[in-house]
Amino acid sequence: MSRKTGILQRLFNALKGGAGAENDRDTAGLHIELAQRNEEIARLRKEYALQREQSRAQCLRAAGDAIEGIVRQCAAPLAAFSAMQARHREHGDLNPSDLFQVASSFQNILAERGLEQISVVGEQQPYDPALHQMLDGTTPQVGQPVQIRFVGFRFNGKLIAKAQAGAGQLKT
């Protein structure tokens, strides 16, 4: 007979009544077992709460470490950008190719982390309402050519910004 069945049977016998001393012993034994189970439940709850808190702390540390990694990679392009700003303030000139190089550095850093560009500016693509947002108020049919005006982005496969488009121009 299992322990659970034994407890239930002893409880049933205690409730029915029976021999006085034996009934008292069974009742006392049941109280002890119940108290032990309550202690075990309390211990398990504390252990679960501690593990949940440790898991939360690990997630926060991992997120912080990931952000720190991105910031470290961005430090050099940001320093270059800051130098370009100072040069522009002092001399009034700015080399666009340097600025594009800094922007390209940022794109590469984010691409390494899962950022994916949707479309290319100036490109014509078949309209897909899941990927394109129309800027000019038109509502093309699915598959109709549209002109990409601003790229969109996915992050780790999830759409975070639709490519913005205008009515496509028919090539003749």
**What DSSP letter does each residue of the chain carry, written as one string?**
--HHHHHHHHHHHHHH---HHHHHHHHHHHHHHHHHHHHHHHHHHHHHHHHHHHHHHHHHHHHHHHHHHHHHHHHHHHHHHHHHHHHHHHHS---HHHHHHHHHHHHHHHHHTTEEEES-TT-EEE--TTTEEESSS--PPTT-EEEEEE-EEEETTEEEEPEEEEEPPPP-
Q: Which percentage of the chain shows pLDDT scores above 70? A: 84
Please state which of the ranges 21-25, 138-142, 165-169 shows the lowest mean pLDDT: 21-25
**Mean pLDDT of all residues belonging to the chain:** 87
Given a contact cutoff of 8 angstroms between Cβ atoms, the answer to whether 47 and 55 are in contact is no
**Amino acid, single-letter form, for residue 16:** K
- Is the pLDDT reported for residue 164 higher than 90? yes
- Is the pLDDT reported for residue 172 higher than 50? no
Q: Where are the domains of the chain?
A: 1-113, 115-172
Express each pLDDT in 81-122 by its tens digit.
Answer: 999 999 999 998 888 899 999 999 999 999 999 999 999 999
Express each pLDDT in 38-47 by its tens digit.
Answer: 999 999 999 9
Q: Look at residue 23 in the predicted model and tell me its pLDDT.
A: 65
Q: Which percentage of the chain shows pLDDT scores above 90? A: 70
- Is the pLDDT reported for residue 77 higher than 50? yes
Cα radius of gyration (the chain): 34
Given a contact cutoff of 8 angstroms between Cβ atoms, the answer to whether 166 and 136 are in contact is yes
Domain 115-172 falls under CATH 2.30.22: yes
Express each pLDDT in 18-71 by its tens digit.
Answer: 555 666 777 788 888 889 999 999 999 999 999 999 999 999 999 999 999 999
